[in-house]
Amino acid sequence: MSVGAQVNKASIDASLTDLAVSFRNLAERAARLSTQVNGQGNGSAFLVRAGYDNVANNPENPGSQTDAAWALQEIAYLNTLVGVYHGAVRQGGDGSAGSATTFDFHNALSLLWSGQLG
C-alpha cells in the first residue's frame, strides 16, 4: 500500500462537495461586497468615505488609477464572476459572434452541497 491517503470515491465526493460549497460561499461574499459598496448607487463615494484616495493617481496601481478606482474595478471583476456563476453573464464560446452562452453553475452544483445551506 502507498503512503498517504488513497484516492477513492468517498474522497472525490468530499472534494466535489467542498469545492461546490466553497464556490457558492465565495460568490455570495463577492456579491455582498458589491452590494455594500455599490448598493446606494455611488461606489466611488462609498470607498472614499471608507478611506480610499480618489484624488491622486497612484503610479503603483494598474493604469496609475486612484486607489478608489482600482478597488471599484476589482469589485466589478468579482461581480462579473458572480454573474457567470449564476448564469447571468455569457461565458465560453470560441470567440465567434454569438458563441458565448450562459449556464447557471449555482443551480447545477447545488446537488453537491450535501445539505450545507450556508
Mean pLDDT of 80-106: 92
Beta bridge partners of 101: 91
Report the mean per-residue pLDDT for the chain.
93
Distances (CA, A) of 17 to 77, 109, 114: 25, 9, 7
16, three cell numbers: 466535489
41, three cell numbers: 448607487
pLDDT in the model for residue 1:
64
pLDDT per residue over 33-73, tens digit each?
A: 999 999 998 999 999 999 999 988 889 999 999 999 999 99
pLDDT in the model for residue 79:
96
